[in-house]
């Protein structure tokens, strides 16, 4: 095998969407616990845009190449991989970076076997999305069956995963906020949300209170940030948990924000992220995700893909994500 591979790079290190291009880079080397995987597809994530623009703090051990979730075929194994993995096996997984490439080196602790019932595109849509949802919902948000839950950006990849996890996890009610009436219908009809609200045309926090008889919601997962902060405090139930995953609307709070509910409702507001977690922590989430694979196999969990691009059209793929109009994953395939 050649000592170079093709990968997506960024002219100048960071920049606008037009700075993305495909070039030759050194072939990644594997460690004792690693696998070298021939990438067949990779999923796009919001953090890819932030990293491209120089606004995402990378873990010090992360490669500079974009991309954290992928599917493909194992072509090489280190001397001490996790038991059971074999060369030629179809897998999908999570990485700290490097998925926008022909090959990726990744710990076998972060690989899962691709079900025969799934395509490479579908498999590449799962790791970051579902592991982030599991982290936010169960570990940080302390969700348990019988609690109610609200997912902001309900038609995003994480929102789609989270709503489905909540429905099958025994939530007493599952709410979502979205940016269009079409997405309201999608969350309710296709994903099983109890109720979704269009934040452009509805006072969603008041609607949540109305739907819960004034009690509020037990767990809120928020990837939107500043514009939803006050609403989160208003809509949360007593002893509620609010988990912040991102800041699509920015990080600076508007004037007049009232924080009284932190005390009178005994609220906890906590931020979390998946990429900076240590390998053993991510391995724990990989194992947790594998417990749900039967739900992908039998179709209980829908893998929603907005559009598939050949990776040579990576600029167009990033442009689509920047528009914030998609439902589900944007995926690129690698020949």
- What SS3 state is found at 201? coil
Q: Which of 276, 298, 316, 305 is nearest to 124 (CA)?
A: 305
Q: What is the distance between the alpha carbons of residues 318 and 44, in angstroms, rounded to a whole number?
A: 8
Q: CA–CA separation, 209 vs 235, rounded Å?
A: 6
In order along its 335 residues, the chain shows pLDDT tens digits of 689 999 999 999 999 999 999 999 999 999 999 999 999 999 999 999 999 999 888 888 889 999 999 999 999 999 999 998 999 999 999 999 999 999 999 999 999 999 999 999 999 999 999 999 999 999 999 999 999 999 999 999 999 999 999 999 999 999 999 999 999 999 999 999 999 999 999 999 999 999 999 999 999 999 999 999 999 999 999 999 999 998 888 899 999 999 999 999 999 999 998 988 899 999 999 999 999 999 999 999 999 999 999 999 999 999 999 998 889 999 999 98
Residue 170 region by backbone torsions, left for phi larger than 0, else alpha for psi between -120 and 50, else beta:
left
CA 121/CA 101 separation, integer angstroms? 15
Q: What is the DSSP letter of 20?
A: E
Q: How far apart are CA 321 and CA 79, in angstroms?
A: 39
Q: Are 143 and 137 in contact (CB under 8 A)?
A: yes
The residues, ordered by sequence, that sit 6+ positions from 68 with a Cβ below 8 Å of its Cβ are 45, 47, 48, 94, 95, 96, 97, 99, 127, 128, 275
Q: Rounded to 10 degrees, what is the CA torsion of 199, 308, 65, 20?
A: -90
Q: What is the pTM of this model?
A: 0.93
Render pLDDT for 118-149 as a digit per residue (tens, 0 to 9). Answer: 999 999 999 999 999 999 999 999 999 999 99
Is 40 strand, coil or helix? strand
Ramachandran region, residue 67 (left: φ > 0; alpha: ψ -120 to 50; beta: rest): left
Domains of the chain listed by start with CATH number: 4-126+278-333 (3.90.180.10), 130-271 (3.40.50.720)
181 and 157 Cβ atoms separated by less than 8 Å: no
Burial class (CB within 10 angstroms; exposed 0-12, middle 13-18, buried 19+) of 115: middle
| Local structure of 304: helix, strand or coil | coil
């Amino acid at each position: 095998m050649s000592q170079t591979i093709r990968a997506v790079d960024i002219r100048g290190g960071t920049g606008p969407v037009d700075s993305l291009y495909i070039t030759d880079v050194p072939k990644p080397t594997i460690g004792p616990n690693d696998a070298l995987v021939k990438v067949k597809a990779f999923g796009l994530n919001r953090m890819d845009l932030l990293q491209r623009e120089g606004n995402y703090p990378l873990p010090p051990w992360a490669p500079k190449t974009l991309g954290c979730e992928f599917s493909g075929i194992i072509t090489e194994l280190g001397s001490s991989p996790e038991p059971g993995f074999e060369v030629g096996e179809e897998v999908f997984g999570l990485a700290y970076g490097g998925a926008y490439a022909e090959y990726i080196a990744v710990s076998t602790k972060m690989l899962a076997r691709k079900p025969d019932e799934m395509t490479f595109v579908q498999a590449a849509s799962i790791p970051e999305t579902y592991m982030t949802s599991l982290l936010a919902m169960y570990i940080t948000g302390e969700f348990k069956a019988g609690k109610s839950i609200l997912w902001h950006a309900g038609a995003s990849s994480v929102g789609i995963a989270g709503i489905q996890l909540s429905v099958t996890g025994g939530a007493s009610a599952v709410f979502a906020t979205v940016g269009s009436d079409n997405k309201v219908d999608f969350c309710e009809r296709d994903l099983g949300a109890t109720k979704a609200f269009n934040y452009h045309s509805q006072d969603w926090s008041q609607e949540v209170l109305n739907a819960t008889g004034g009690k509020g919601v037990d767990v809120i997962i928020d990837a939107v940030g500043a514009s939803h902060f006050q609403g989160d405090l208003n809509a949360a139930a007593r002893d509620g948990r609010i988990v912040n995953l991102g800041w699509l609307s920015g990080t600076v709070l508007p004037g007049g924000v009232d924080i009284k509910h932190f005390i009178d409702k005994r609220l906890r507001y906590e931020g979390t992220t998946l990429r900076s977690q240590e390998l053993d922590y991510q391995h724990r989430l990989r194992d947790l995700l594998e417990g749900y694979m039967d739900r992908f196999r039998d179709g209980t969990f829908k893998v929603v893909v907005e559009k598939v691009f050949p990776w040579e059209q990576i600029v167009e793929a990033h442009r689509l994500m920047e528009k914030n109009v998609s439902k589900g994953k944007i995926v690129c395939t690698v020949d």
